[in-house]
Every structure is written in structure tokens, then in C-alpha cells.
Chains A and B, each alone.
Chain A
């Protein structure tokens, strides 16, 4: 079964850091670019970051550039999101998602597989 499982969310104080993880199974993880997408009631779905199969190409939304770092470990079939200097605006449900149809390269694409999400709440 193709599956993505996020973990690492929780309650964190403003200005602190948090690291999210996403474990992939059921497909050749190393063949696909991967992404993080977040969702809030107010702003809806927001693409956060993407990383190519070999970590050679990485992109971020302007809202997280310089604060968030995406990485992956193909040997562990895992995707990560290091989030620093967190603010209330980062409170959201964070999904990892598999790039659907452009293999390997990071490319504007649809997301064909999503995890169930991990909730991040930034509050004092």
C-alpha cells in the first residue's frame, strides 16, 4: 500500500523550532520529488516547500524562506521539514505529498499521494 505518514507536530512556543518527519512506503521514494503543504482554516491550502529526488533542487514559499529547511534521506525513505523561528502564522496542519507525474525532478505538478498530516500549533 502506498502510504505517507507524518510525525513530529505539537505545541511549540513562538520563536522556537520543530522538526517534522514523513515516512514513505509502497513506492520507490528515491524516484520522486516530494513536497510539504500546510492547511489552515483561514488561509486554506498553502504549498510550503519541495525537494527533488536527489536533494539537488529545493524550493520554498516566500512565507517560510530562510526559516524552514526541507531535506530527505532516501536510504530511510523519509522526508523532513526543519522549522525555525516559528510564529503564530505557522500554526497549521502539515501534509507531506508526493509529486505526481514528473519523475525525479522538482517540477510544478499535482500531488497524487498525501499523508494524513501532523498538526503544528504555535502558541505561548
Chain B
């Protein structure tokens, strides 16, 4: 099983600032990496798949990069609605596995 590790666990950022979230895979997943956003009481929402492709309707301030075992989600200028928990997920091997999440909170 591929283990996904996210860091940091919590990221404190001021509105308008840039946020950089990290995800690491225990073995290569090539570019088969997705990012999700989850707000309290809601389902996860797909932001990025294939490491860098934005899902439909996702604002351009969200960008993904990386390959192999190291990945980054960048939110260029945090808006109030972006404070949430973010998860990465590998989509190359069974079982599909998720990271433990990074909570982005208001500084």
C-alpha cells in the first residue's frame, strides 16, 4: 500500500497570502495525484487531478505541481472560502490511499 504523508498538519495563513501544502508518497505515483478540499460538514471537493490539472470550476489560484513522490498544492492568494482541510490522494495503485490532511486556518 502506498502511504501518503502531508505536511504541515496545520498551516496558519492570513487572507491574501500564499499557501503551500506538501504531500509525499512512500513510492513513486508518477503524476497520479489528486487534491481535495473539505469544509466542515461537507464532502471532499476535487481540486486537482493528474498532479496539476484543475478540475472543472476550480479557480486558477489553485495550482498543483510535482511528480514521483513529492507534490505541492499552492493557493496563490487565500480567500475566506479557502480556509478548510486539504487532502491528497494517489490514483495509480490499489488500494487508493489518502494523506492525513492539512488544515489551513486563518492567522
Which of A's residues lie within 8 Å of B, judged by CB?
A: 35, 44-47, 50, 59, 61-62, 95, 100-101, 108-112, 114-117
Contacts and interface: CB of A to CB of B under 8 A. Distances in A.
A31 to B, nearest CB: 17
Interface residues of B, number: 25
Contacts, number: 58
A45 B86 CA distance: 11
B34 A110 contact: yes
A112 B46 contact: yes
Residue of A44, A61, A101, A112 contacting most chain B CB atoms (<10 Å):
A44
Dominant secondary structure at the B interface: loop
B44 A62 contact: no
B49 interface: yes
Contacts of A112: 46, 49, 55-56
